Amino acid sequence: MSEIEIVQGDITKMKADAIVNAANKSLLGGGGVDGAIHAAAGPQLLAECRTLHGCDTGEAKITKGYNLPAKHVIHTVGPIYRFHSPEEDAKLLAACYQNSLDLAKKNNLHSIIFSSISTGVYGYPAEDAAKIAFATAKNWLADHPDYEMKISMCAFDQRMADIFKKEMNS
């Protein structure tokens, strides 16, 4: 059965077929969730990321999970808020979720945990980002009724968990 759930805690300690890294365009690590995932996965993740030659905003690429409990890491590059028009920012953020889910399906993965893409240093307002995340996930599930997928939205703190809960219930 396909579903969407909210989980709270450290995404680097969660077991799934894939966790989604809110990466930068280089895919070579950075701050926040990106740095934490690279640190927890170990140096093999960086070595594999070097072979991917970066990633464009809205796109997604996959690697192994290495030392993480997750089997794979899907790296996606969210938009830097207000770098584009509001409509383009929303379209690019939705593409992050859509392309990550498509890539998971292409690799026969059935559980995926998303971090809150672009809401950290990239400055996307968390409430707006949550609306896009849940709408995209719900639409993806509706478009793939015969594919079993467990989608988890990971909140690092209580504030984000509350935002996710509000959006899930709306």
Mean pLDDT for back-to-back runs of 10 residues, the chain (170 residues): 92 98 95 94 98 97 98 97 92 98 98 96 96 98 97 96 94
pTM score: 0.96
Cβ distance 75 to 63 under 8 Å? yes
The CATH number given to whatever domain includes residue 13 is: 3.40.220.10
**Long-range Cβ contact pairs of 85-89 (< 8 A, separation 24 or more):** 89/124
- Domain of 48 in residue numbering reads as 3-169
Domain count along the chain: 1
Give me the DSSP letters along 54-102.
---BT-EEEEE-TTSSSSEEEEEEPPPTTSS-HHHHHHHHHHHHHHHHH
